[in-house]
Amino acid sequence: MSWLNEFDDRLAALDAQSLRRVRRAVTPEPGARLCVDGVSLLAFCSNDYLGLAQDPLLRQAVHTAVDRYGVGSGASPMVSGHSVANAALERELAEAVGLPRALYFYAGYATNASIVPALVGEGDALFSDALNHACLIDGARLSKATVHRFPHGNLARLDALLAASPARRRLVISDAVFSMDGDVADITGLHALCERHDALLLLDDAHGFGVLGPQGRGALAAAGLTGPGASPRVLYMATLGKALGVAGAFVAGPERLVEWLLQKTRSYTYATAAPALLAEAVRAGLRCVLGADGDRRRQHLAALIAQLRAGLAPGAHAAMDATGWTLMHSDTAIQPLVIGDNAAALDVMAHLRKQGLWVPAIRPPTVPEGTARLRIALSAAHQADDVDQLLAALRSAAGRLVLADAAALQGAAP
């Protein structure tokens, strides 16, 4: 029998562990809603943190760009794909994050998977936070450097690993905001260790750019390591499909490092450049992020985060307390509610869905075993009423669970 038949069993094994993933075809509706199979759902699953993905100014920028540039870029940026729009965006991104130079990529995954191997190789050493995003992990694997994983946020352990490493070239890689936990890395601490051990720091700020720091300039700006205080040993990477509302990514940093990446990053050289219409949409998003409208959106988002956290705080609701669910410590738009068991997380998700809410259950391998969670993502596109609706639905899911537990206990009684 051909080994290809085993794929049926392997898929069945995913089903047995509640690990089979399914996609839904969606149509956006106004106000953080998505239409799924004809049903309108209030969505808490998008990384569109500022509500820019549906913004009229960005739409208009695309219309104008299509008329001027057409649709496709036609080639790699190293050949003829580097539009004047993409070039202008790179200058504006560098300016926005307060670093000398930026390189604009068509996608964030491809950026990290390929800048890491451009920076280090066999015989070099990589130091990676245990909760880093998959694309940093894949970049580390592709690099063939020796990978040292340190426990999440444990800088003492990182210090010891750096001290013990005989490698001359060392690269520390970390998410700036952890995508499934919502916490922010100790960037000042990471940078200090890199200085002490002559290491280079690569930060992935996919979830911070646009929302954190002064005018949304990102987590590195918030840490004071940009502008006049820019460090020669930091590369800053961020994506443009989250708070910026479009798609793509960029890496920014010192001139010599960015020039090296331009020369050696395979996903930059061997991929078709992002279309100018996307670059123009990002430029419009960036103007919004850096302006008064961006401040207004960030303030609104901060108020929603505070409202949700107050509603889920211990003591706020008895049935919630009885479930043992834990809201993780996070000040960002990512507010994970850890449920633990995969099937239980899916069950709560289904209960919310019946009430018209879409909150994704995230399971292993995306998160560690036994920490399946609802990843609640808030957006400036939400209203206070939306958060109230979510809190009510979570409380009813909790109440249902507590009742089921009580029934099970009674059933078990002699």
Ligand X SMILES: *Cc1c(COP(=O)(O)O)cnc(C)c1O
> Which residues sit at the interface with ligand X, rule CB under 6 A?
107-109, 112, 133, 135, 175, 179, 204, 206-207, 239, 241, 249
251 vs 391, beta carbon nearer ligand X: 251
Taking the C-alpha atoms of residue 217 and residue 286, their distance in angstroms, rounded to an integer, is 10
Is 242 noted as a catalytic residue in this protein? yes
81 vs 208, beta carbon nearer ligand X: 208
Q: What is the DSSP string of 97-126?
A: HT-SEEEEES-HHHHHHHHHHHH--TT-EE
> Which amino acid, residue 362?
I
112 vs 307, beta carbon nearer ligand X: 112
Minimum Å gap between C-beta 177 and ligand X is 7
Structure tokens, 220: 């590195």
Minimum Å gap between C-beta 241 and ligand X is 5
Contact 272, 106 (CB under 8 A): yes
Q: CB-based contacts of 290: which residues, under 8 Å, 6+ apart?
A: 96, 215, 216, 217
* Closest to 287 in 3D by CA, of 65, 106, 95: 95
Q: What pairs with residue 42 in β-bridges? A: 33, 357
Minimum Å gap between C-beta 70 and ligand X is 23
Structure tokens, 209: 């750019």
Minimum Å gap between C-beta 320 and ligand X is 28
Contact 349, 357 (CB under 8 A): no
206 vs 376, beta carbon nearer ligand X: 206
Count the neighbouring beta carbons within 10 Å of the beta carbon of residue 71.
10
204 vs 347, beta carbon nearer ligand X: 204
162 vs 237, beta carbon nearer ligand X: 237
Is 396 noted as a catalytic residue in this protein? no
Exposed/middle/buried for residue 147 (C-beta within 10 Å: 0-12, 13-18, 19+): middle
What are the φ/ψ torsions at residue 339 (nearest 5 degrees)?
Answer: -105, -35
Minimum Å gap between C-beta 390 and ligand X is 22
Taking the C-alpha atoms of residue 44 and residue 67, their distance in angstroms, rounded to an integer, is 34
Is 179 noted as a catalytic residue in this protein? yes
In the set 174, 179, 267, 379, the catalytic residue is 179
* Closest to 344 in 3D by CA, of 312, 313, 370: 370
In the set 133, 207, 351, 382, the catalytic residue is 207
Closest residue to ligand X: CB criterion? 108
In the set 133, 148, 242, 351, the catalytic residue is 242
Minimum Å gap between C-beta 77 and ligand X is 16
Contact 72, 274 (CB under 8 A): no
Catalytic residue numbers read: 179, 207, 242
